Structure 1
Amino acid sequence: MPSVRPLFVVAGIGDGSGTGAATARLFARSGYRVALISRGPDYLNKLATELNQAGAEATAFPLNDYTPASIKSAFASIKSHWPSSPLRVAVFNAGYGVWKPFLDITEDEVRESIDTNVLAAFAFARAALLEFTKLELETPNDGGVAGDARKRGTLIFTGATASIRGNTTTSAFSAGKFAIRALSQSLAKEFGKQNIHVAHSIIDGGILTDRTKSQRKDPSWEANQDVRLDPNSIAKTYLHLVEQDSSAWAWEIDLRPAHEKW
């Protein structure tokens, strides 16, 4: 194990049963220190406790909102908490969804969608990239637990079907997800030249979480891995993106269950 552990930060862990939490667990097992950013302090602290009890190093950094000021403050707190750990991986998994006919969507819902899906994504990316650009290329002793020695850091955005295709009730949601995809592509082209890997993941299908299980109330859907996405499998793909070497980086990857209609 390197003398200085690298740092992994994720924004958006929901109730602790989805993609953000699964990714935090996997990177914790892979030797990273884990910084958790989210608006739900109860779930956030519960996940941090779980990871620490399993032998990892994890800390919760709860937010009242996803404003740029709050995100900047969270990153400052992370840096203060682990001043010697280089930030190597950042995952923006936060989101806000509203699924309504266009004329039923309120101004407040549009504003929250833009604030969370666009402004927060810009602020998170800026904070992560400012840290990445300070780093030297990885060496065997600077915390390169997993990854390419030609890579300063990896920034991953979680997208959705709505990132590439609008539908009858997704006007506000798709507007935000389209924006994140465009942001990711722009950053990949700009910062790839500095050996910083930016990637966008399209999650095309239903994810198995506590919320989706309670909504569907369908044991067959839960049991059949061919019809739903497993957050642990998504996490493995995120780790794979981090481990890609600089001769073959993926900017975008789409994930769906085998029987998804697409």
Structure 2
Amino acid sequence: MSTRPLFVVAGIGNGSGTGAAAARLFAQKGYRVALVARNADHLKRLAGEINDAGGEAAAFPVENYSYGATLSVFDNIAAHKWSSAGSSSLRVALWNAGSGVWKPFLEVTDKDIETSLQTNVTAAFAFSRGAILAFKQNELDERGKRGTLLFTGATAAIRGNVTTSAFAAGKFGLRALSQSLAKEFGKENIHVSHAIIDGGILTDRSLSTRGEAWVNNADVRLDANSIAKSYLYLVEQDRSAWTWELDLRPAHEKW
């Protein structure tokens, strides 16, 4: 009985952004998809959409992104009974969850700091632990990998700004985590990559708040499906040429 590759993604929003686009793409490529997020309704809707399209997906809601809740979801995924026959092997894990705080420094509260660091750093540590422990059990695939761990970052990971003190602190931490893991676990053929998303993404939310000129101009905004394709590119790299950090922006983005 064959073993199916498994893709785990944490953070799918309302189903119109990067996490959901990646879930759809990896399902199309034959991966089982485990969807992790706090909103159970959004998870179930996306899982149903993927299953109706011929893929195989399951929803794993978490109450919050605490360390314990995030780590324990891997046990739930491992125990899940999939609809098709065969075991699963976790091969790709995407940390796409995030928490944004945009306030002048003197308006930032202790709750803002706690929320940013919990989601962007503490929960990312837990997610990484669960993924890497699973990867270490894998044999090398045809590309010489045991698994790929992906992180969705932001421009704030490398540059602070006047209203991003709390947000940047979290994203700087996420980037540092990803670089540390890439250096530590590359020796075990585990590929870790961090993507800096530099620009606005066309989602249901931005569709309702941005003007028509922005929505219809692919030169000035990112497409979630294109980001997902870039993630697949990272996963398909062989061990002779791995990317740790990738930055993605629309053609006319100022940087």
Normalising to structure 2: TM-score of the pair?
0.97
Which residue number in structure 2 is paired with residue 13 of structure 1?
12
Q: Which amino acid aligns with 2:214?
A: W
Aligned-residue offset at 1:98: 0.7
Which residue number in structure 2 is paired with residue 223 of structure 1?
216
- Is 1:161 equivalent to 2:159 in the alignment? no
Alignment match of 1:183 (pick from 170, 177, 186): 177
- May I ask how many residue pairs the two structures share in their alignment? 251
Q: Which amino acid aligns with 2:204?
A: D
Q: Which amino acid aligns with 2:27?
A: A
Alignment match of 1:112 (pick from 112, 115, 120): 115
- Is 1:135 equivalent to 2:138 in the alignment? yes
Which residue number in structure 1 is paired with residue 50 of structure 2?
51
- For residue 16 of structure 1, give the secondary structure of its aligned residue in structure 2: coil
Alignment match of 1:249 (pick from 229, 242, 246): 242
Identical positions, percent? 67
Which residue number in structure 2 is paired with residue 87 of structure 1?
90
Aligned-residue offset at 1:134: 1.1
Q: Which amino acid aligns with 2:171?
A: K
For 1:123-174, what per-residue CA distance to the aligned partner results, in whole angstroms no more than 9, with x for missing partners?
00000000001111125xxxxxxxx1x1000000000010100000000000
Q: Which runs of 4+ in 1 moved over 4 A?
A: none
For 1:14-71, what per-residue CA distance to the aligned partner results, in whole angstroms no more than 9, with x for missing partners?
0100000000000000000000000111111100000000011100000110011111
Aligned-residue offset at 1:3: 2.5
- For residue 260 of structure 1, give the secondary structure of its aligned residue in structure 2: coil
Superposition RMSD in Å: 1.1
Q: Which amino acid aligns with 1:205?
A: G
Q: Which amino acid aligns with 2:123?
A: A
Aligned-residue offset at 1:4: 2.0
- Is 1:172 equivalent to 2:166 in the alignment? yes
Counterpart CA distance in 2 for 1:85 and 1:106 is 43
Normalising to structure 1: TM-score of the pair?
0.94
Which residue number in structure 2 is paired with residue 26 of structure 1?
25
Counterpart CA distance in 2 for 1:132 and 1:54 is 28
